[in-house]
Structure formats: C-alpha cells, structure tokens
Structure 1
C-alpha cells in the first residue's frame, strides 16, 4: 500500500510537535461528550504555535474517528460561500485558524455557524487577538466556551525542540535563553544553527525577522509609537501612555495595545511579550535614539510625580527598570515581565515537603533539618507558576537567638527580621523570574509591613550579590556570616532605624536617575593607556557605577550608558566572527554576564583552567584591538 504525501506531511508534523500538555488535555476534554465546554478559544502572539497546535488537534480528532473541517483565514477571501458548508456531520470537529484575518468571521461563527452544529460537535477557534468579550458576557456562550491563551514553551520542551531540530547541545541553553521558549524564534535559531553556529551576532537576524511579524498590522505611525513606548517601560497604564506620547487622551491607543496578541496585561498595566519587547526596544534604539531617549525622560518625570503616593514601592521597580542598562539591579529587573504569571501563597502540606526537598538538593541535609526547624515556627511563602505548581519559596523569620541555627546564635539586640531561606526550586539563587518575584515581594514588605529594627538577607555566595545589595543599601555584614555543614553563607543587611523606609526608597530612585549625571571631558589616550582603561572597565562592568570614572568616557566623548552599549556592540562583533567565538564566550562569562567565579566560568565553558585563561587573555586583547579600531 503506497503512502500519500499528505500522510508523510502529517507524520512530520507529529514528530516536530513538542510540549503543550495543558493544551492537549483541554482538547481531550473537548472530545468528551460529558464535558461542559464545546468551544476552545485559543489566542496567542504570532509565531507562538497556534497553527501547529491545530494540526495536532486535527490528528487527534482523526485518531478518535471524528470528522474534521478546517477553515484557514489565510485562504478565505471573505464570508461568501461559508453558508454552504456542510456542518451536519455527527461528531464534527471544526478547526478555525487565524480567525482575525477575515473581517466578521468571528461574528459569523458565533451567530450563524456554531448554533447550527450538532450537539456533539467540538470547535476550536484560534487567532492572535483576545476573544471578543461577548463570548464571556453572553450567558449562553459563557457555559460552552473555554479560553486558552497560548504562551511560550517551557524550559524542558524548548530544549527538546532544539534537539529535534538538530541544534548542537552546546548551543541550546544560549538559544533558549535568547528566545525564552518562543516557538518561531526557536525554529529561526535552528535555521541559523544549520548554517553556522548560533551567536549573539546571528541573534540580530532572528530578532529582525520577529519584529517584522510583530508590527506588520500596525495601522498608523502613532500606533507604532505607542507600541514602542510600551516596550521601553516596565508596565504601561493609560495615564503613563499619555505622558510618554505627550497626549491629552490616549484611551483609544491604550485599548488598541490591550487587544494586541503580543501584549499582556496584569494588575500593574500592559506589557509586551519578552521577545516583542526586546525586538521593539532594540530597533528603536538604533533607528531613533533621540525618540528613545525622549520616552525615557518622560517616563522618569512621570515616575517622580508618583513617588510620594502609596504605590512608591512599585514606582521604584519602574524606575530601576528604566535604568536597567546602568543600574546594578539591571540583570534582575530585566526578567520582571516574566513574573506576571507567578503568585505568592501559603504552602500546602505537600508543598512543605517540596520546600524541604529543594533545600536538601541545593544546600544539603544539615540545611534541610534547619529548614524543617523554622517551618515548624514560621509561615513560609511559596511561589506558584501559571499552572499552580510550586516553583520557589522564601522563609522570612522574626529572628531571635537560637542555638539550633548558626545563623541566629549571635544576633545583636533589637528586632531583627531575616530572610533565612529563599530559592527558585530549579535554579536555586540564580537570576530568574522566581528570584525576581521574591525580591519584589520582599521590597513590598519593607515598605508596607511592620518595620523591624533591621532586615538581614542570606545568600549562598556573596560575590554575585555584592554590587546589587550595596546599590539598594543592604551592605555586606561579614561578622554575621555563618556556616552550616561545610558551606559558609553570606549575610547582607539594612538598619531601618538609620534609614527608614520612605527615605530609603527615595534615595534608591534618585540614585538610578543620576547614574549618568557626571559630565564628559575630552581626554586623549595613547594606545597603551587605552588598553589599560579597557581592561579595567571590563573588570568593573558588572557594577552599577563601575564605568562612572572611566577614562574612556572622555577619550570617546560618550556617556556611561553609551559606553556600555559600545562594549555590547564590540562583544557582538566578536561573537559574529568564527575565529573569535571562543574568545567571546570567555569574555561573556567572565565580564559581561559573569559567572560567580572564574572557576565557575571555566566549568561553564567546559574548559580546563589553563585553557580558559588562555582564551580570556585572547579575548581581552581582541576586545581592546576592536575598540581601538572603532575609536580611531
């Protein structure tokens, strides 16, 4: 028996499909005659995998012996002829793709087609835009529909997709970090990887392709300006949008933004999907740097006006996000939009066991026993993901001298509150959306809760956090360090009696606003002096004010933010060159996005220490050479 081309096509699609367990379970429920819902409304950004999901649904319906009718908005020229469709087949599964492409198609389905379907029919309607409110407002449809937003792939499924597409294992983590699990971006990365090694340089190709897809339907330049402004700030409200665009009324533009598939919304306002934000922000920065700077200045002025209100803790996050390129907190706040699906709650009994298992995994048996000790006395806070499963936790204790725990044996007099344990269940204390969510939750507690005399923070290692903690006025307290098992933990703290919460938060906002205030004075440098300055700046790059006094500011007539941008451009130039790729990776993991120690960087690169140091020396020399060429 010969195989048809369509069979081979369906088999290839099935092999290429990964993940989407929640969405597949929703379709399985849809096929159950006893299920209350008969219509799935799938919506998500362009390239997120809606069509692939519908193809998978079609295959599952076929396996269940159900007839399938597929309508594709790309192939329809209008509503003409749709009334002649045969919708009477028993058990029909109607799949409608890109519904937004045909004006009136959503209304025709709701008013004309779906009421004609047999009682055992199942319907899936997919599009970029959020479903019209009438689907939920109408008492009849409300009982029959289920909304299914489609997001990016999770970490495990993203790695699997890259592996299935033939991306080498050593490139997958970097590719997944860049794409954040966006299926189209992952596919584009795989295409790039098939031609040459994926790098920061080739990332620009992927980003440009995504940007074209994201903005292809923007109706006017003002609408595009609104979208670009939304990408510059942490979260956009209607009054903020008016301030950013210099308008008296931005209601229509705000409503338009809210309806875009690439824009999400939460309690604090609107924000683009991560890749859309990155693409829009990067494109505006080189296409219209003056316009980009104007948006940032208007945003800063707006935040200052809000700073005396009750939501000042939230405004601080907005302020830091605006200065993420220069703030010591920048690496942490850049992931803040990804926290929108997270929530904080009390742990269940089962989750208490999960918490202890995480501590045992990351810190060992001795720490796990201490965690159980404190959990019996204090309420932990568990962080849950979109699916409701525990993703991390923190344990904030009113610390009193307790000989059972070395962390609290020698506490000074006064009321002390200590963040005794905190972690992302998967990646421990590495920067992540969970880690950032915990940080913002704690910031809120500093400003709205009962204020103790001091707050202490505990970390498994001091070095990655020293600059950030100093920036937020939580200095290192080496005398409070403690050892559990064979590991010594670092402690940072803030004295609220010396700097109360309102003064503390005001200082932080102004500190980020004034990072680039130092004047630039022209200063000529010889080649040797230039090289010494570049090497010193690479070592200071990770600190918020590390480049403030750099001789390169005067030599190149740049501000600190522009100097940082130039360093990133030269690093991308290294990454784009096959001969310099090894050097770039050493530079990246040592200075630009540093590992905790150089030993960790060598391990991350899979290199012996001597080889790593050789690559690093080459990287510094090539970086100096390329920067000198640009300057002269």
Structure 2
C-alpha cells in the first residue's frame, strides 16, 4: 500500500517540504491545511506522516470522522505527540464543536515543541485570523488543484492510456478525487461517480414506503439514522421506523455506529439536493425537522455522545441561508466578540425564544456541548429572520483583549439620555419618527455608533435603541424602506434584544403579523395539521383511490392548509380535497414529472376511470396487471410528493413554517 501511495503521489513539493521541516524551523506551531473535499489534503498529510515516521519522529493522529471522539479522547491522543513530535488532525471540519476548546484549552497544555497540522474543508475562522497572537503561531495553507503536468502524471500512474490522458485531465480540472473517479471510469468502466449517482437515484425511486424514503433522505443529508430519529423527525410509527432502519442496515453503503447508521461519504457527496428533493420547500422542511429531532436527542444523551450528534446538527444549520449581523457574549466579562458571517458555526449558541421560553433546539445542543457563551441565532419559529441577544453590564470596567469589541463596549457604557443628532436621523430613516424614543434607559439608552459598518457588518450603519419599540404599525407602514427590522423584547433586567427580518427573502405582511403576534402572545397557536413527510404522503396514497366519492372522504387531509386555501369561496372541504387531488394527478402528468406510461396510468385510474376496477384499467392500457401495479405505485408516490410540497408551501404562506 505504501508503494502504491508513493507512486500515485504527485506535486505538493512546497507543502511537503514545509511540513516535514516544521519541527526544525519552529517558524509556526500550527499549520491549517484548507481545501474542498477530494482536493488531496488527506493524501498530503499521509505523505508527511510517512516521511516523518521514517525519520523516527513521534506522530499522534486524530481522525475527525471518528463518530465517538470527544474532548477527553482527543487530549489523550494529542499528548502522545509530546515532547517534540507532531499532532495531525484530519477531517478537522467534523470537529467544529471542539474548535474553541482545541485552541484555548488543548494547545496551551501541550508541549510548545509539538507541531500541529490540521486538515479541514472549512477555512480558519475570520475572527481567528484577525487575532495577532494567533496569527503569530498559526499559518493557513490553501491546498489547491493540481497543475496540468501534475494531473497528467497522476492520470498515468492510475493506468490511463496516453491518448486519453489529456481528456481525463481536462475533465478533472485539477481536482484529484475527480481525476481518480474519471480515471477509474476510463480503466474500469463499471466504477465511477455517475453509476453511483444513478444507483442512488434508482434506490430513491424504488423505496418501499415513504418511511424508507425519509430514512434515505436523512442519511444522505449526513444525519446518523436511528429508529428514534425517524419517529421524532417524521412521526413514523415504531414498526415502520424499525423496518426502514433494518432495510437501510442491509444496504452496502451504510455503517452501524453508536450514533446511528451512517452513509458512506462518497454516496452522500454523489447525491445532489435536486435529486433528494424536487421542491426546495420540502427540503427546508425536512432539514428543520431533522434539526429539531437531533436537538431532542442532544438534550438526553450523555456528554461524551454529544460531539458525534452536534456535527450533523451543525451541517444541517450550515445549509440554511443566513444573514448574521452581530453578536456578543451573554456575559461579556466571560467572553466577548464581534461576529461575521464566516464565524457563525463557532458562535451560534443558546439564547431565548421570541416568546420568552427557552429555545430548546439550540439550548440543548450548545449547553450539552459545554459552550453557551456566544449568542447569535436564527429565530426558533423560523418565520423570517434572526435574532441577536446581548447582555451587557454597563457598570463593569473590565478590559477586553479584542480591540473592536472593547471599542463597542465603550460606546455602550457611555450612551444614555437623548439620542445624538446623527443617531436620530438614522432612526428616523428606519422608524419614521423618534419623538417617543428618547427615554433614558438605566442600562443602555441607545447604540448609535455610526462606525458600526467598520465591524464587518452591513454596508450601511446599524442603529437601534434599547428604548425603541417597533410596533406593527411602524414596521408594516414602511415595508419598502426596510432591509432589516430592529426592536426590543423584555427578557429580564440585563437582557436586550434585536429582532431582524430578512426582507430580501420575502416581504410578507402576514409574516410580520405572525412574528409580532407571537412576540406579544396574541397570536393563537396554529391548528393541528397532518404532518409533512412520510405520514402525509402515506395518507395521500390511502385517500387517492377513494377521492372520486368526496362525500365519503374522512381524512386528516381535510384540515390541511392546502385544502383550506381552496375552501375560501365556500367550497366544502371534501370537495376541495377531491379537486386538489384531481389537479395533482393532471399536473404531474402534464408537467412531465412521471414517465408517459405512469402518466397514462394516473389519468386512466384517477381522472377518467374513477369508477372502474384496476384490472379492467390494466387491460384497457394493454399491460399486465403486475406491471400496471408497479407503475401505479411509482406514479402515486410522485403525486403524494406533490401534495406534500403543496402543503409545505401553503403552511409557509400561512406563516406556520418559514
């Protein structure tokens, strides 16, 4: 194996020379290799390790994909590199929950002669790079694509015939993993990413039930699959969840771990979001359900089981579109910082929900991880934005190492009384009037530093006041003028909050009313509805054969939001449901979402032949009954997915999900 690795390793001479001599030069202590998946970070690290081991140097290696790796185990392995060896951490992006602990607690306890090399898909946080002390000991090394000459040498070492080398090199664009897959496809046509992708698509299309499909989707979103996860996320009953997990366990691309069934990384990376979900709303809803289910598990597992669950939790959050403005610590005397977009996984933490109750999803995750210091969060209701929570002791005078945060805190300590002219002008621009916003606050009267734009925040200054209450009329009256809405919620003696609404995504007055109603406690809780996902799709499949007789329909679907939207003109709910199901059958056939044969089966069975027996319909379509039933199942599954997507969109329009 070492001989093959040596023969197929090309390029990276500068990086190899730098890392193999790092302990001798003492130029830096930490080397952070960063690059996309498959670019060759692990291969580079393995080459460096082989060379150093051949010289007799002590090496300690940590694999970030180790599902049960916690802080104690990490520290124990790291200490084996002492007194003057090298600590190598591959897959560092999988250990984001431990990054602060790694920098602030582990490294100071290691012998100063230990060199640390981490390989990560995620770049070093911008906040770390801006820290002069950290920059003095750490260096980020981008691992980029191979050059054409190096890529050609790799292709030849993998057995690609000379006439095909240039084509393989061009197709890979310098990406080693892509080149390897392309070379495999050239030399062994049955192997490669396209056949893998096609196999996954086929498996998704042929899932036995909706529960199996939801289990596949969860695994392909990098979430460890367990029976309890399926029950919590999709409300699948215990028997169906057990069958789905047993079916997944028999697949060749899954591995059983203490955290659950994990999918092979190549299978995950070969599957696009478009192949998993035909509708982005459905994808977002599934992501939110998995987040909530993981948070529920995080709240009840032992501490040493937190990191392997927190990693997929953060991956799901990373897929959310976010616009984070700012954040400081809940207790600035413990930890203070300013936040930029690139830092959000590190600083996301437990805060309070809009209605004053604990935000269970994030509190469970970050309190279990032992880090509840920073305070930026997307609002738990997921209506339309994010919240920034600040707790500041203005009487305190303790200095802070970060000069930017210290400057900000100084501004907070010295504010009070009437707003300054510049701040009044900016508040007027946002709120229309500031006449009633001049009351002195015992804590913080206003944040009116017009230099906030220098803190890596939005291009325009951010101005808000602890004494400003942005009511419904003030917000809704000027929707065309707002990028973000700021207001205050009473959370306690020392708590101060800003609520932001991302107008760039969708400016809906209904969402504003819903948000403000929840803040005031005046909005009634939404009525119980059929769940999204497998349960709803299974209900659609149960009802479809009977929907022609609307008066006989007795289904939870009658109360779903998509049906309620169709009853505004006085239509009875059963008639509205029957009309919706008929429209869906016609729609999926006309839009080309199913094959021609499946479209013909849908039309003949549910649109034109509603009173006929299925055996007669199969004969009329000139196909065997088993063939008819197989294609009918696929067509009905597609129709059920369409209803699921319609329900998700309707509930979002109603402000129940965001």
TM-score (norm 2): 0.31
- Higher RCO (C-alpha 8 Å, min separation 6): 2
Larger of the two Rg values belongs to structure: 2
